[in-house]
Structure 1
């Protein structure tokens, strides 16, 4: 994975004005989100939950890994956008410590009532928004 000069992995750079209807863009998004899940070392069940997919949809994860595009569904794209936003925020907060970027998501956090950020995110899209807002607050406070 190539890093830019600011330490932000090129793989997760959020592009402006991305056409999510484009098959090619949705293929790139699928590859990026699968790489993110790999870096965070998430179980398939957690991956499915974060994407808002059925626990019985493991075949979707396999398709995304093998280069198929993510579905053009508003909520799915929104969830993936939140995941990329969280990773970007973590990269800014822990720019000199890549291990912390990857561990933070599964580490107990006193600000979250000793829950892990992942546990909050698994509560659904509202939980994902809570973590995304929390990270932005940590950056801009």
Structure 2
């Protein structure tokens, strides 16, 4: 709820994952891979750097922003999270069923692949 702007929220999200030490460490690994292992820079960028950035955007959007942004009427649960159920395959591709976010918070020991079943069981019990 503190950050309403998605870009500011994403930058705050990334601050929790990154430090100067980690960034320098990745730069060292990148250069060792390029110069010692002779991996072309283009390959490192295409198959390591870009996927890393894309996955951070995916995790942020589907795993943090969508489930935790404050709805107009306020948060529906104490976890300040809501579920956005997608068809199972899309839910998996979006971010390992992280759209089932209420279930993720209510049952934190349930593995990600069982979250759709927990969601459907909760719907059945609600009827």
TM-score, normalising length from structure 1? 0.30
TM-score, normalising length from structure 2? 0.33
